[in-house]
Structure 1
Amino acid sequence: MTADRSSDQADEDFRKELLGTLPHLRAFARGLSGRPDYADDLAQEAAIKAWTARDRYTPGTNMRAWTFAILRNHYLSELRRNRRQTDLDDGAVERMLVMDADQEGGLHLSDMEAALLQLAPERREAVMLVGAGGFTYEEAAQIADCAVGTMKSRVARARAELNRILDTEPDAQALAQRKAVRERAAIARSVSSSAQRRRAG
């Protein structure tokens, strides 16, 4: 009986700590994927995987680092699985992710978020972990499964590139492209709403 109570208490403690990481997981997932809807799915899946593997978590260690590593591994697995299904190479998948995120840029993302999505995926991940996530270089390197020096280099290059992107004024062509994207998105929303109303009716 005492062992059961102890196990229940451990599960409750784990649940509370896991719930506390969810906002950070969502932010990290959004930074990785650039898609708020997909980011919620990634964070939820990572939380489920963490709960399932709770016996492997050591209480008192860094829950946020542990769950970030789970989320990152799941995200990379999803990319690989999708790539196999569509027969696309790594470069094509990355270009599509950046392109999709860029098309949403004028609608949903702040200038910083839009700039982040222009970074190479490994640099974006690095600056999200160290900058937004607040991890040390050592912790971030462990999550990303790379050397500490590599992590420092990625963060430095990411910050330099972000400064360059944010200091650059958008040209007329870029502004026109954003306007066209907004118009297409508005049409798509309208069509989607009409279809939902027809299904509901």
Structure 2
Amino acid sequence: MKEHDVEEFIREITRHQSVMTAFIRSLLPGYCDPRDVLQEVNITLWKKKEQYEPGSNFKAWAFKVAKYHVLNERRKLKRSHVIVFDDDLLEAFSAEGENLLSNEMLDDRMVALRRCLEGLSERHRSLLKLRYSKDVSIEQYAESQNRKAGTLRATLRQIRIKLKDCVMGRLREVTP
């Protein structure tokens, strides 16, 4: 690979990090840190950089590599008895995700999500951070707060609905 092609490859891989992270997260919701899988995807992409043809669709190629890493992660999760999506459903999400996750659309969604998160109370933001980190389970948090885990789950559901409605509303404002 020529030096110019390597530079272009690095630009492409860098440009697609956020959309690949979102793609991985959409296929493995709540089960692992998508950045762990993304790191493995990046290593594979770098090792296979000679197979990439400059000027071709980098995103489609990278998503295909990411999908194989997601499938591998799913196999690990199944062995550890974690419930995961059916493979046919994963395939459908994968195909849909490749089409929907353009960098521009992702940027609009991230801006909308940030603004909507700012509108939440500090308590609700903290609860969301807790839920999407791997350090503390809902049960552990509930116990530390003298609350019931079921109540926290119901609160999280309400927060997610509120966030979804807020993000969708903001996206309607942005999209003509």
What TM-score comes out, normalization by structure 2 length? 0.51
* Runs of 4 or more above 3 Å deviation: 187-190
Q: Deviations over 1:64-112 (max 9, x none)?
A: 11000000011112323454x45x6xxxx5xx136xxxxxxxxxxxxxx
Partner residue, 2:38: 43
1:44-83 matched pairs, under 5 angstroms: 44-83=39-78
SS at match of 1:97: coil
> Corresponding residue for 2:18?
23
What root-mean-square deviation, in Å, do the aligned CA atoms of Structure 1 and Structure 2 show? 3.3
- Residue 37 of structure 1: CA displacement? 4.9
Q: How many residues of Structure 1 are paired with residues of Structure 2 in the alignment?
A: 111
- 1:14-163 matched pairs, under 5 angstroms: 14-35=9-30, 37-83=32-78, 85-86=79-80, 96-97=83-84, 120-133=89-102
Unaligned runs of 5+ in 1: 1-5, 99-118, 135-180, 191-201
Seen in structure 2, the aligned counterparts of structure 1 residues 121 and 185 have a Cα distance that, compared at 3 Å, is farther
AA at the equivalent of 1:132: L
Q: Percent identity?
A: 23
Whole-Å separation in 1 of the counterparts to 2:94 and 2:138? 31
Please say if residues 44 and 65 of structure 2, whose CA atoms lie closer than 8 Å, have aligned partners that are also in contact: yes
Look up the match of 2:141.
186
Could you report, residue by residue, the CA deviation over 1:101-148 in whole angstroms, capped at 9, with x for unpaired residues?
xxxxxxxxxxxxxxxxxx9333332332223359xxxxxxxxxxxxxx
Tell me the TM-score normalised to structure 1 length.
Answer: 0.46
CA distance in 2, matches of 1:132, 1:121: 16
Which has the larger share of helix?
1
Render the CA deviation track for 1:39-60: whole Å, top value 9, x for unaligned.
1111221111101110110000
- Following superposition, the deviation at residue 185 of structure 1 comes to 5.7
Alpha-carbon distance in structure 1 between the residues aligned to 2:140 and 2:89: 25
Deviations 1:176-198 (A, max 9, x none): xxxxx8952634888xxxxxxxx
- Structure 2 residue identity aligned to 1:123: A
Q: 2:10 is aligned with what amino acid?
A: R
